[in-house]
Chain A
Amino acid sequence: MKNSFIYPIIFMMAVTAVFIAVLAGLNYATADTIEFNQESELQQKILYIFDILPKDGAEEDVEKVFNENVIEKEWGELRGYALTQGGQETAYAVPINGPGLWGSIIGYIGLNTNYTEIIGIEFVTQSETPGLGGRISEDSYKEQFRGIDISGKMDEFIVSSPEPNSNVDAIAGATQTSAAVVKLINEDIKLFLQEVK
């Protein structure tokens, strides 16, 4: 019987059906948790840009603060977020993306409503070398992007060391990543300003 033509087909189908049922059940049971995790992570990052992330906050706090203060906003094809206080928009998180050293870097950059100041930055996806380029996700690098004046500039908003008059320090040992980040920020802010002005 085991050597018949039809047995292997039926066996394979039966085994596959059983395993798929198990996986589908597991997937169904965890789908909500996974979605919540992903949403919460993005919310945390947006709150970080606006510098209103609750300290040691639980995920529920993050959700609450996010829902109270942040709304989605669109500029043409760009989808970002706006910080609102008392019904008034006070800052924007604008999407940025571009090639890094190993893969795409995707993130958001915070601007005030006059587009004269960069208020923060956060990376959503990056696959730079851990411990080198990957350090762009560390606070010591990201905190440099708080309160950078870009009023009057049409280009070169961010200038990274070792260039003269730099406003951001590059990461030692990660020259290419640092340069890529600066390049993609400058390009995307320029595009954004062209869109809104």
Chain B
Amino acid sequence: MTKTEVKKIFTKGIFTDNPILVQVIGICSALAVTNLMMNSLIMGIALSLVTAFSSLTVSLLKDHTPKHIRMMVQVLIISVYVIMVDIYLKAYMPEMSKALGPYVGLIITNCIIMGRAEGFAQSNPPMPSFFDGLASGIGYTFVLMSISFVREILGFGSVFGISIIPETVTRWTLMVMPPSAFFILALIMWIFNNNRLKKQKEGVEKK
């Protein structure tokens, strides 16, 4: 596996095929856990690790897995890693586990993981699958952090819990409520895709 291949996988996962901005999958949790940056960061790390390791495992087992039960096996693998993350958070980060609530368990149903397992890991060797999962997870984390940055700074006046806007500035209540995530996610998607399409167009014209 060459460096350029790894680089290609990462650019795809983070930019050109970003799971949220381009594929528009796994946005439930992107809307739910983005009111604080710390929550988003932990959620992003959890999802990146789960995606990376389940892709790796799916890829390792793919030659022995009968085709017609592969989805069952994938779901099994994904749930194992999610439960591991859940147990870890409960044991060593109880506060975070409480803040994320049911969303850690719901990573199991996140389309990104299943999508990478079925779309990439099932037909690629283990290491590229691992990087592919990691790249998609980082792409997801990147979008979550952008949304939560806007929401936290406007809704709570802080960044990572550190207050940076004086108390006298009125907080924008809507920003801490779930609906605001829709607006901000849509805005980010709009800006990102506008740029992406513009670049594609330029590329075509240059040729």
A38 partner residues in chain B, CB cutoff 8 A: 94
Residues of A within 8 A of B90 (CB): 30, 34, 37
A3–B84 Cα gap in the complex (Å)? Answer: 32
- Residues on B with C-beta less than 8 A from A131 are 35, 155-156, 171, 173, 176
**How far is A3 from B91 in the complex, measured between Cα atoms in Å?**
42
If A11-B69, A131-B156 touch, does A33 touch B173 (CB 8 Å cutoff)? no
Please state if A8 and B91 are interface contacts (CB–CB under 8 Å): no
How would you classify the secondary structure of chain A's contact residues: helix, strand, loop or mixed? helix
Residues of A within 8 A of B77 (CB): 19
Closest-CB distance, B104 to chain A (whole angstroms): 14
Structural contact, A22 and B80, CB atoms closer than 8 A: yes
A41–B94 alpha-carbon span in the complex (Å)? 9
CB atoms of A12 and B69 under 8 A apart = yes
Which of the four size classes fits the interface of chain A?
20 to 34
Q: Do A30 and B73 touch across chains, with their CB atoms under 8 A apart?
A: no
Would you list which residues of chain A between 1 and 34 have a CB under 8 Å from chain B?
2-3, 7-8, 11-12, 15-16, 19, 22-23, 26-27, 30, 33-34
Q: Shortest Cβ distance from B119 into chain A, in angstroms?
A: 21
B188 within 8 A of A: no
Contact of B87 among A3, A26, A173 (CB under 8 A): A26
Interface status of A78 (Cβ within 8 A of chain B): no
Residue on A with the closest CB to B65?
Answer: A11
Q: Which residues of A contact B155 (CB under 8 A)?
A: 131
The contact sample of 24 A-B pairs, CB cut-off 8 A, is A2-B64, A2-B66, A7-B66, A8-B69, A11-B69, A12-B69, A15-B76, A23-B83, A26-B87, A27-B87, A30-B90, A33-B92, A34-B90, A34-B94, A37-B91, A37-B94, A41-B94, A129-B176, A129-B177, A131-B35, A131-B171, A131-B173, A131-B176, A132-B177
* A130 beta carbon closer than 8 Å to chain B: yes
Further 7 A-B residue pairs, CB within 8 A, beyond A11-B64, A16-B76, A33-B92: A8-B68, A23-B87, A30-B91, A34-B91, A127-B101, A129-B177, A130-B176
B191 CB within 8 Å of chain A: no
User: When chains A and B are docked, how far (Å) is the Cα of A22 from the Cα of B94?
Assistant: 22
- A132 and B68 contact, Cβ closer than 8 Å, known pairs A19-B80, A30-B91, A33-B92: no
Residues of A bordering B, CB below 8 Å = 2-3, 7-8, 11-12, 15-16, 19, 22-23, 26-27, 30, 33-34, 37-38, 41, 127, 129-132, 173
CA distance A22 to B53 in the complex (A): 15
For residue B45, CB closer than 8 A to chain A, the reply is no
Complex Cα gap A23–B73 (Å):
16
- Is B42 close to A, CB under 8 A? no
In whole angstroms, how far apart are the Cα atoms of A30 and B94 in the complex?
12
Closest to A9 in B: B69
